[in-house]
Structure 1
């Protein structure tokens, strides 16, 4: 009789791939790195083969690991959906949820769909905007929860994920030494816009603003069209764009923390369930992170 996979160990394995390392998975899952490593070994024993191999200083997936990752996402999604449905039986009410645009096109739809299936009687309203605008709406009671970066100093911040900041461009694009960098950005003030400019200026790399969009979705469209490159945090990226190698002379930027904010108000009913779903939801990441 086949041995059932350990779902707890499987979640650690999938989370490590989503976040780009077992140390990040340990932090997110509130476990020690040694505990996460032991879970990996347990999965390898159950699979009867290695799931990762060392490539220089990094651990990369074997072909068996890639197979397990694909099935693992499906198993965890089904498990979480079943638990959410049981917890949310006959749950009703309203949740007003705000999220930054960087997560809106890829991660947000599947998460909202999962919540809607588990809690069909709950009215869920989602707003996509800049972090500053979302925090303002949260503080005046127009939103119940906000998922955003830039709020680490707020008392209501509950860490969610730590994501890299990277240069993003069309697939196959690269920086050319000595040539100006065409930037695709949001209007000022924007931490990523200013971060890109500051980094290029510090390295003496010429640049120009090639496109200014009003939403992250317009930035992705402009990058996809080849109008330039952008600098943002990365999770799951839309099709036809990719993470670029850093320009010559620039070190990788520090990671950025994304947190869940509740405005300091006690969560009840549907809001509590959405917070739980956010905590459990996987974040598929670009393979180049």
Structure 2
């Protein structure tokens, strides 16, 4: 005879692990510590293995506990997705989201997944610069926004960090005895400000050689050899190269990737969209970090080979 595990008990296991103790889980869930302890005791009996071991004043999971936790999260995720789907099928309204051009590539699967959960919800999408999106959140014009930088804003929560690199055509040659030609977006662009700040800090003269309102225009200027820019290495067109210290330029600092939420925006649909965006950003940032490590290794190998040949 199969035992049917209680979803409420599995959720308690996840909360207890995340908070580090049964007592804190009891407080979070609004139950008595004895009730939480009884739940965990029954779960261990049903699974036939100890799930916890003592670690100082708190609790840690045993190997069996780690396995149970992994399955618990998957079971609860499916349960929550089913409930969202059934409830979302009847939920009408609209949700407004914003995203910079750099992360536009993460949107198709996010929007498709959200639409499958909430088919009656209308999505309004705004692709703009980071400062404009952060301002739009504060003016309650949109509900959620992916933003690079602006972590000091009240509505911001940091999702991860993104490396900023120098980018140019593979055939670009840095001019000697002349100001460095820059290709940039508008004056409010955080990457433009970052590039100029680092160049001025190291006394490198520069000039604005190309000014574009869009990424397509920026890429065209770079591919045409008009100059160099500072930006994330996400989704670079063929023919462009990037590195943290390209052509001997100063190493650029990374920037936080933030998610901004309108203080007046609540509800399960907004919660679900936020989760989908955070998950998609996590995958994109992890993929970019891996690509950066590979690029750095290749660059070091080339330098080593060139030094050996000289």
1:97 matched residue in structure 2: 97
8 Å Cα contact 2:102/2:235 also seen in 1: no
In structure 2, what is the Cα distance between the partners aligned to 1:88 and 1:240? 43
After superposition, the C-alpha distances for 1:166-207 in whole angstroms (9 at most, x for unaligned) are: 111224546466554221111223332232123223333332
Post-superposition offset of 1:247: 4.3
In structure 1, what is the Cα distance between the partners aligned to 2:203 and 2:246? 11
In structure 2, what is the Cα distance between the partners aligned to 1:94 and 1:225? 42
In structure 1, what is the Cα distance between the partners aligned to 2:212 and 2:82? 39
8 Å Cα contact 2:130/2:189 also seen in 1: no
In structure 2, what is the Cα distance between the partners aligned to 1:148 and 1:271? 17
8 Å Cα contact 1:167/1:231 also seen in 2: yes
Q: Aligned pairs, how many? A: 210
1:210 matched residue in structure 2: 209
2:219 matched residue in structure 1: 220
1:130 matched residue in structure 2: 129
**Equivalence map 1:85-234=2 (5 Å):** 87-89=84-86, 90=89, 91-104=91-104, 106-171=105-170, 173=172, 175=174, 178=177, 180-234=179-233
8 Å Cα contact 2:137/2:144 also seen in 1: yes
What SS does the aligned partner of 1:124 have?
A: strand
Q: Which has the larger radius of gyration?
A: 2
8 Å Cα contact 2:186/2:212 also seen in 1: yes
Looking at both structures, which has the greater relative contact order when contacts are Cα pairs under 8 Å and sequence separation is at least 6? 1
Greater helix share, structure number:
2
The alignment's TM-score, normalised by the length of structure 2, stands at 0.58
In structure 2, what is the Cα distance between the partners aligned to 1:82 and 1:214? 44
Post-superposition offset of 1:225: 3.3
What SS does the aligned partner of 2:219 have?
A: helix
1:285 matched residue in structure 2: 288
After superposition, the C-alpha distances for 1:108-162 in whole angstroms (9 at most, x for unaligned) are: 3343334334433321111011222222222222201111123212222121121
In structure 2, what is the Cα distance between the partners aligned to 1:178 and 1:82? 65
Post-superposition offset of 1:261: 0.9
What SS does the aligned partner of 1:285 have?
A: helix
Distance 1:124 1:256, change over 3 A: same
In structure 1, what is the Cα distance between the partners aligned to 2:269 and 2:200? 47
8 Å Cα contact 1:175/1:247 also seen in 2: no
After superposition, the C-alpha distances for 1:66-115 in whole angstroms (9 at most, x for unaligned) are: xxxxxxxxxxxxxx9998576334144311001122222x3333433343
8 Å Cα contact 1:169/1:244 also seen in 2: no
8 Å Cα contact 2:198/2:250 also seen in 1: no
Post-superposition offset of 1:256: 0.6
In structure 2, what is the Cα distance between the partners aligned to 1:81 and 1:250? 49
What are structure 1's unaligned runs of at least 5 residues?
1-79
